[in-house]
Amino acid sequence: MDAALDLFVEKGFAATKIDDVAARAGVSKGTLYLYFPSKEELLKAVIRHNLSLTIEQGDDVVANFEGSTAELMQVVAGVWWERVGETQASGIFKLILTEARNFPDLAQFYDAEVIEPGQRLITRLLQRGVDRGEFRPTLHLLDTAHSFIFPLLMLCLHKHSIGPCLVHGLTNDPRRFIAHHIELLLKGVTAEPVPAPGTS
């Protein structure tokens, strides 16, 4: 399944040959069919497997955190990047994106198992900030959640598509970008409102 994930992510489902998956996995084509009844089922298994891994991350980090919500968001993003973004599993996002329309049930599954829980996690985080008076109460929670998440996902997508093709990646330091992105969202871009002592 690791071999399949790699190749599906790199080449796309249709362009990946079963022989290549088998070869990379170090088994014969026949063996693959011993465990997965078809190429399509292999895809589904790969996705199910990787999503279940992905999902388990998250909630425990949040539960007992003590510090400010700003710190918490940095921590959550950092942990996610470490456990997902930097691993092979980061490819799953490209795979889903690529194959969603060809296998709509995958999209359903991904929505239920990743998008929904993910949105809920971030939304709760934001709510925590609002409740504690750290964040503006006028925030649109869902939109804000997307502003947080989307760039992180783009990092994963980029890593598995254009990234490897370019000599100088678009960001030479993803961790720095993530920290900066979150800080940016928290503080905003605009210059300090003049004489006010300081905010962050």
The residues that touch DNA, with contacts defined as CB under 7 A, are 16-19, 27-31, 33-35, 37-40
Distance CA 99, CA 94 (A): 9
What does the H/E/C string look like for 51-92?
A: HHHHHHCCHHHHHCCCCCHHHHHHHHHHHHHHHHHCCHHHHH
In the bound complex, what is the minimum distance in angstroms from residue 9's beta carbon to DNA?
A: 15
Query: By C-beta, is 31 or 108 nearer to DNA?
Result: 31
Residue 120 partner contact from DNA, a copy of itself, none using kind-dependent CB cut-offs of 5 to 8 Å: none
Asked whether position 67 contacts a copy of itself by CB under 8 A, the answer is no
Minimum Å gap between C-beta 145 and a copy of itself is 10
Residue 156: which of 107, 74, 96, 113 has the closest Cα?
96
8 A C-beta contact, residue 17 and residue 23:
no
Determine the Cα–Cα distance for residues 89 and 148; give it in Å rounded to an integer: 20
User: Is 192 a residue that touches a copy of itself (CB under 8 A)?
Assistant: yes
How far apart are the two ends of the chain, measured CA to CA in Å? Answer: 45
* Binding site partner of 39, from a copy of itself, DNA, none, Cβ cut-off 5-8 A by kind: DNA
Rounded Cα–Cα distance for residues 53 and 46 (Å): 11
**134 binds a copy of itself, rule: CB under 8 A:** yes
Provide the token pair at 96.
Answer: 């889903």
> Least distance in Å: CB of 96 to DNA?
19
Q: Binding mask 9-38 vs a copy of itself (x if CB under 8 A, - otherwise)?
A: -xxxxxx-----------------------
CB of 36 to DNA, least distance (A): 8
Dihedral angle at the C-alpha atoms of 77, 80, 85, 88, nearest 10 degrees? 180
Nearer Cβ to DNA (17/140): 17
Place of tokens 């961790």: 175
**Measured from the CB of residue 87, what is the shortest distance to a copy of itself in angstroms?**
18
Cα 40 from Cα 13, distance rounded (Å): 9
The answer to whether residue 55 forms part of the interface with a copy of itself (CB under 8 A) is: no
Q: Which positions lie near a copy of itself, rule CB under 8 A?
A: 10-15, 70, 94, 96-102, 104, 107-108, 110-111, 115, 119, 126, 129, 133-137, 139-140, 142-144, 146-147, 150-151, 153-154, 157, 160-162, 164-166, 170-171, 176-177, 180-181, 183-194, 196-200
